[in-house]
């Protein structure tokens, strides 16, 4: 193996970070041997913190109504071919409780940006009801950008975590993925606000999104190094047929796994999901994600009749399975490669 790259891996592990140019060098110079070395080091640093325990988050896709028009996303507002839905509060709480019975101790409420229906009052009420109905369960919100006051109210209602991928840490790149009325600065500001309020915060980006360069990814890694999110969701970009990026190539399994290992070395305690998108581009994507350093999976808890309508990208997996089946299937898949799904809130290790 190239000595320079082996040295960079060593430096990354000991310093928990690299310079921008070094990240770029590590990405561009990658070979299967370097990937294996990174994965082996990622597993080694994860071992004393999380062992081979895998945390689960039950994901409820509460609405596909969205006011935004992100160019990559299948539920963007200008896609007229989506049948829109909103789950009512009773349905959301019932899904969460069912999830609790299956063993989930984190419930994620995700959806498009839909502040008309999910006004603060409605969302806060749902959060408080889940906290009451599901003992010792963390409520995570992933409903896009909102104002600081809204984040504060949800925190007071009992939500303790928020997932908001930064999508890309490069302003020019952000502007090519989003329409002009969306703001890079506002998205970043939300992340800092959430952190200040006291949330455990999740950031993250797509791998292989259109126009993404090596330097863009290097800046994503530098951002992760400085912001140190509690959770970092990364998955391959996958085109959706009804978006302007329909004919763009998908991100690769190989680069996603490589970046998962790097992120584990930057931030050993980070909660790192092997995402559904990773499981979509490769039948064993999530298992391979674990071997690269991930320690979280996020099975679907949404009612089966709406799952196909929450189509962010083409061919999303598990849209036909019952929630109980999803958990069982993942538990078996993880056991096969030597990992154990646990019944646990899965807080970030301190």
Nearer to ligand SAH, 281 or 290 (CB): 281
> Closest distance between ligand SAH and the C-beta of residue 284, in Å?
18
Q: Which of residues 238-257 bind ligand SAH (CB under 6 A)?
A: 238, 240
> Closest distance between ligand SAH and the C-beta of residue 343, in Å?
25
Based on the shown chain and the rule CB under 6 A, indicate whether residue 162 belongs to the binding site for ligand SAH: no
Stretch that binds ligand SAH, among 10-18, 32-40, 162-170, 259-267 (CB under 6 A): 162-170
Nearer to ligand SAH, 45 or 95 (CB): 95
Q: Which of residues 274-293 bind ligand SAH (CB under 6 A)?
A: 277
> Closest distance between ligand SAH and the C-beta of residue 104, in Å?
19
Task: Choose, by CB under 6 A, the member of 184, 237, 258, 339 that binds ligand SAH.
Answer: 237
Q: Which residue has tokens 């290992």?
A: 261
Task: Choose, by CB under 6 A, the member of 313, 334, 339, 342 that binds ligand SAH.
Answer: 313
Residue 226: count of CB within 10 angstroms of its CB: 10
Q: CA-to-CA distance for 38 and 260, rounded, in angstroms? A: 9
CA distances from 31 to 76, 237, 255 (A): 36, 21, 10
Nearer to ligand SAH, 18 or 66 (CB): 66
What b/e sequence results for 321-350 when a residue is b if at least 16 CB atoms lie within 10 Å of its CB, and e otherwise?
bebeebbeebbebbeeeebebbebebebee
Based on the shown chain and the rule CB under 6 A, indicate whether residue 298 belongs to the binding site for ligand SAH: no
Task: Choose, by CB under 6 A, the member of 312, 331, 341, 342 that binds ligand SAH.
Answer: 312
Based on the shown chain and the rule CB under 6 A, indicate whether residue 230 belongs to the binding site for ligand SAH: no
> Closest distance between ligand SAH and the C-beta of residue 247, in Å?
13
Please state the length of the chain: 350
Provide the token pair at 327.
């958990």
List CB contacts of 21: < 8 A, sequence separation 6 or more.
218
> Closest distance between ligand SAH and the C-beta of residue 106, in Å?
16
Q: Which residue has tokens 């992340």?
A: 191
List CB contacts of 285: < 8 A, sequence separation 6 or more.
253, 274, 278, 279
Q: Which of residues 92-151 bind ligand SAH (CB under 6 A)?
A: 110, 112-113, 142, 144
| Beta pairing partners, 141 | 109, 162
CA distances from 169 to 17, 163, 182, 216 (A): 16, 16, 14, 7
Q: Which residue has tokens 């085109």?
A: 239
Nearer to ligand SAH, 144 or 285 (CB): 144
Q: Which residue has tokens 């690299």?
A: 18
Q: CA-to-CA distance for 272 and 241, rounded, in angstroms? A: 28
Nearer to ligand SAH, 92 or 238 (CB): 238
Nearest CA among 293, 322, 307, 299 for reference residue 104? 299
Q: CA-to-CA distance for 156 and 152, rounded, in angstroms? A: 6
Size of the site for ligand SAH (CB under 6 A): 18
Nearer to ligand SAH, 165 or 267 (CB): 165
Based on the shown chain and the rule CB under 6 A, indicate whether residue 167 belongs to the binding site for ligand SAH: yes
Task: Choose, by CB under 6 A, the member of 60, 126, 127, 164 that binds ligand SAH.
Answer: 164
Q: Which residues bind ligand SAH (CB under 6 A)?
A: 72-73, 110, 112-113, 142, 144, 164-165, 167, 206, 235, 237-238, 240, 277, 312-313
């Amino acid at each position: 193996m190239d000595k320079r790259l082996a040295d960079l891996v060593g430096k990354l592990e000991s310093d928990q970070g690299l310079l921008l140019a070094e990240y770029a060098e590590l990405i561009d110079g990658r070979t299967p041997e370097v990937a294996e070395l990174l994965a082996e080091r990622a597993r080694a640093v994860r071992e004393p913190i999380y062992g081979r325990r895998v945390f689960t988050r039950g994901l409820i896709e509460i609405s596909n109504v969205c006011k935004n028009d992100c160019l990559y996303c299948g539920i963007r507002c200008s896609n007229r071919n989506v049948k829109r839905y909103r789950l009512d509060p009773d349905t959301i709480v019932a899904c969460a409780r069912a999830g609790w019975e299956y063993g989930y101790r984190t419930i994620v409420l995700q959806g498009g940006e839909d502040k008309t229906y999910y006004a603060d009052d409605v969302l806060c009420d749902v959060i408080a009801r889940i906290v009451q109905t599901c003992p010792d369960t963390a409520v995570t919100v992933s409903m896009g950008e909102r104002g600081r006051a809204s984040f504060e109210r949800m925190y007071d209602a009992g939500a303790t975590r928020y997932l908001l991928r930064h999508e890309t840490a490069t302003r020019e790149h952000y502007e090519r993925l989003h329409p002009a009325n969306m703001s890079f600065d506002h998205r970043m500001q939300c992340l800092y606000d959430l952190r200040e309020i006291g949330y455990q915060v999740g950031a993250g980006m797509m791998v292989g999104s259109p126009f993404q360069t090596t330097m863009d990814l290097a800046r994503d890694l530098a951002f992760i190094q400085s912001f140190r999110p509690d959770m970092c969701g990364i998955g391959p970009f996958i085109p959706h047929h009804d978006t302007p990026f329909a004919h763009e190539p998908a991100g690769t399994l190989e680069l996603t796994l490589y970046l998962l290992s790097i992120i584990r070395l930057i931030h050993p305690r980070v909660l790192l999901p092997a995402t559904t998108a990773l499981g979509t581009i490769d039948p064993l994507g999530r298992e391979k994600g674990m071997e690269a350093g991930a320690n979280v999976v996020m099975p679907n808890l949404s009612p089966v009749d709406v799952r196909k309508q929450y189509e962010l990208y083409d061919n999303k997996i598990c849209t036909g399975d019952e929630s109980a089946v999803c958990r069982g299937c993942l538990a078996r898949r993880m056991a096969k490669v030597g990992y154990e799904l646990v019944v646990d809130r899965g807080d970030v290790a301190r």
